[in-house]
């Protein structure tokens, strides 16, 4: 008898790329609760609400300010002290940031910027892209693309979400320092393969029909154009 309804799907998830990650599927839905306790124990990792902007974020911010951000929509993943919103709110149309830290969200809200909102959500969760305002972003900044990732399946979910949020000519910007940094706290133990370099970032981008450009330590990820355009 072929009872398909009661047969659990035990086939391995089909992957888009291979950069040597060993934890393919963590088997649970990523959530902000995964970070509970870390805000106080390891505030340097998670709660940057009152910390100085990191050097990599500073460089991404400097790059952003040189772009055509007047009237643009900006997604800042890893809100920290809301540096992106504070620098760009007077020019951008809309800024959304993402955080797992309640304190960072509180600081974001305390700025009372009419065109800025901060979402408290785990970016690797399945509901990430649907939880944000329905906007296509011209600029997406994430200096820690894979630094906190639980497994490849959820990283791929995140990348799919980012691509769906990116405007046609949108740019996803990341930075060498954050690419090279992975969270080694006990609760995470991020697989060493996620210490990204230009080669592995290129493999990931390619798997999502994207291209990468390196400008010093800033990496720009864009949609691959059909040849001839
Ligand atoms: C090291 S802080 C960096 C803050 C800011 N980007 C900067 O560089 O100044 C890490 C940031 O990533 C956020 N973060 C960490 N894991 C996350 C996840 N799974 N989903 C969403 N945000 C996350 C934290 O809330 C925090 O804002």
152-187: pLDDT as tens digits = 999 999 999 999 999 999 999 999 999 999 998 877
Name the closest-CA residue to atom 6, ligand 1.
Answer: 78
143 within ligand 1 shell (Cβ under 6 A): yes
pLDDT in tens, 24-80: 999 999 999 998 877 655 556 788 999 999 999 999 999 999 999 999 999 999 999
- Ligand 1 atom closest to the CA of 30, numbered from 1: 19
Determine the pLDDT at residue 228: 58
**At residue 10, does pLDDT exceed 80?**
no
Sheet holding 210-215, edge to edge: 116-120, 94-99, 73-77, 137-141, 166-175, 218-223, 210-215
| Domains present along the chain, CATH in parentheses | 45-223 (3.40.50.150)
Count how many residues are written for the chain: 229
Rounded to the nearest angstrom, the distance between the alpha carbon of 46 and the centre of ligand 1 is 6
**The ligand 1 atom nearest the CA atom of 79:** 27
More confident residue, 9 or 72: 72
Please classify residue 138 by burial: count the beta carbons closer than 10 Å to its beta carbon, then call 0-12 exposed, 13-18 middle and 19+ buried.
buried
> Is residue 21's pLDDT more than 50?
yes
Answering whether pTM is above 0.85, one says: yes
128 C-beta closer than 6 A to ligand 1: no
């Amino acid at each position: 008898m072929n009872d398909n309804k009661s047969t659990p799907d035990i086939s391995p998830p089909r992957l888009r790329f291979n950069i040597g990650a060993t934890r393919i599927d963590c088997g649970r839905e990523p959530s902000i609760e995964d970070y509970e306790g870390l805000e106080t124990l390891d505030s340097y990792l998670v709660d940057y609400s009152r910390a100085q902007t990191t050097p990599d974020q500073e460089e991404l911010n400097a790059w952003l300010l040189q772009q055509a951000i007047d009237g643009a929509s900006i997604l800042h993943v890893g809100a920290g002290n809301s540096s992106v919103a504070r620098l760009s709110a007077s020019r951008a149309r809309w800024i959304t940031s993402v955080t797992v830290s309640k304190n960072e969200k509180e600081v974001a809200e305390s700025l009372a910027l009419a065109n800025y909102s901060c979402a408290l959500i785990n970016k690797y969760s399945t509901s990430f892209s649907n939880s944000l305002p329905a906007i296509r972003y011209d600029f997406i900044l994430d200096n820690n693309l894979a630094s906190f990732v639980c497994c490849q399946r959820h990283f791929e979910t995140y990348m799919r979400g980012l691509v769906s949020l990116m405007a046609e000519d949108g740019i996803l910007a990341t930075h060498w320092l954050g690419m090279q940094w992975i969270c080694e706290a006990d609760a995470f133990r991020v697989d060493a393969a996620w210490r990204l370099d230009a080669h592995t970032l290129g493999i990931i981008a390619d798997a999502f029909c994207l291209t990468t450009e390196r400008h010093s330590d800033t990496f720009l990820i864009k949609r691959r154009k059909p040849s001839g355009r």
